[in-house]
Structure 1
Amino acid sequence: MRPAHLALSTAAVLVVPLGAGPAAAAAGPPGIPTVVTASAQLAGLTVAPESSAGSYDRDLFPHWAAVAGTCNVRETVLQRDGQDVTTNAACAAISGTWHSPYDGAVWHQASDIDIDHMVPLAEAWRSGASQWTPAKRRQFANSLADSQLWAVTDDVNQHKGDRDPSAWKPPLTSFWCTYALSWVNVKHNWQLTLQSSEKTALQEMLTTCSTR
């Protein structure tokens, strides 16, 4: 049985710079915009019904590509988002501490962590990625340049599935602001569409943000 979830303060789930020394907070994904920027990006997204749902296949988005040496994207995110992470010769994380921003849980085994695609691959497929080239879908599934990839509790990620914010929100309500900022920015960066119910949910989540 897993240990009980440990509550974190709101500050523990904010994206902060990576500092020097072993006690530094985890870096988290890059590229999360301000509320003003995200609001403008949300207003500019195209609202359209989803399409091509029946033709989705996860294999259309090759993921966990090699990054450097024996390290792939999953292991890279585990190292980026964890604290005091140690790895073996194959670059697999063998110890560390991970704070899951979605639910506030703290984990000490990498096996308890999933690397979540902020905008799920199936959601992206239904929102325009079905028209992309295989190379672009691979880039999207492995993107380290924006806030698409998050290290989170595996069970929470599985519960999220491929649902957008109109159907699923993180259990930790203090993270709703950052979640909406990240979701909007990823959809903007990759020029994906969204549904009207999704847009409404994101607008509501952005109202939880303090001034940034």
Structure 2
Amino acid sequence: MGRTPRWTIPLATLTTLTLAVTIGAATAADATPSGIPSTSTAQAQLDALTVAPQGSTSGYSRDLFPHWITISGSCNTRETVLQRDGTSVVTDASCAAVSGSWYSPFDGATWYAASDVDIDHLVPLAEAWRSGANTWTTSRRQAFANDLTRPQLIAVTDDVNQAKGDQDPATWQPSVYSYRCTYAKMWIAVKYHWSLTAQASEAGALQTMLDTCTT
């Protein structure tokens, strides 16, 4: 907690970059998750969400949402998102990111070590459980936990992700105010696609965030 982002690349990292670039490299063309709807679409999706009291976490376990799964070759979901959301990401033969940079839109920090970055489940697994995923099959929960088609997975500062925990937008929002519009649209899109419910305070917070959108 309270670490200062590293804004310069240390010599050791530059050396690693030189050595690893011959092993494999992936440069992100777009560090934004796919499937973020327009404001008008997000509004329609928010209006269509079922508003209901939040369910219980009874029986919940992260193990009921298997992740990270293999996506391609030796790359799992975490490694795939690190490559997608990073800039000039270099990977080794096992697909582990050995260098690159990652901008965390939640807090505006930039990091130069993959270990400083978490892959956030935008709609937390426990939140999904309380919103209807408790009735899903394990295979459906696995698909949710590794969803690269909707804006459900994003690389962010690890401490920020841990502080967010399993909170919904009624109690946690990105500190970068200008990102709250996007955050709301992402959250709405995920809940809408996966037919998850929203409690009244959550829906109200999403509407307030959506009202900040200028486009």
Give yes or no for TM over 0.5.
yes
Q: Are 1:56 and 2:60 matched, yes or no? A: yes
Structure 1's unaligned 5+ residue stretches are 7-21
Give the unaligned 5+ runs of structure 2.
8-25
Distance 1:24 1:96 in 2: 10
Aligned residues: 196
Residue 186 (str. 1) matches residue 190 (str. 2)? yes
Greater mean deviation of Cα atoms: 26-35 or 69-78: 26-35
Classify the secondary structure of the residue corresponding to 1:54: coil
CA contact (8 A) 1:64 1:74 kept: yes
The structure 1 residue matched to 2:130, chosen from 117, 126, 143, is 126
Candidates 152, 155, 171, aligned match of 2:175: 171
- Inter-partner Cα distance in structure 2 for 1:132 and 1:183: 19
Q: Is the 8 A contact 2:32 2:85 kept in 1?
A: yes
Helix, strand or coil: the match of 1:29?
coil
**C-alpha RMSD over aligned residues:** 1.6
Q: Go from structure 1 to structure 2 and tell me whether the alpha carbon gap of 1:123 and 1:67 turns closer, same or farther (over 3 Å shift).
A: same
Describe how 1:6-45 pairs up with structure 2 within 5 A: 26-45=30-49
SS of the residue 2:51 aligns to: coil
Deviates more, 1:47-56 or 1:32-41: 47-56
Does the 8 Å contact 1:33/1:181 carry over to 2? Answer: yes
For the pair shown, the structure with the greater C-alpha radius of gyration is 2
Identity of aligned residues (%): 60
- What is the aligned counterpart of 2:104 among 84, 100, 107? 100
CA contact (8 A) 2:131 2:196 kept: yes
* TM-score with structure 2 setting the length: 0.88
- Distance in 2 between the 1:31 and 1:201 partners? 21
CA distance in 2, matches of 1:52, 1:203: 24
Partner AA of 1:161 in structure 2: G
Q: Which runs of 4+ in 1 moved over 2 A?
A: 1-6, 22-27
In 1, Cα distance between equivalents of 2:203 and 2:193 = 16
Q: Deviations over 1:85-130 (max 9, x none)?
A: 0001110000001000100000000000000001000000000000
Q: Would you say the 8 A contact 2:104–2:155 is kept in 1?
A: yes
Distance in 2 of aligned mates of 1:85 and 1:69: 17
TM-score norm. by structure 1 comes to 0.89
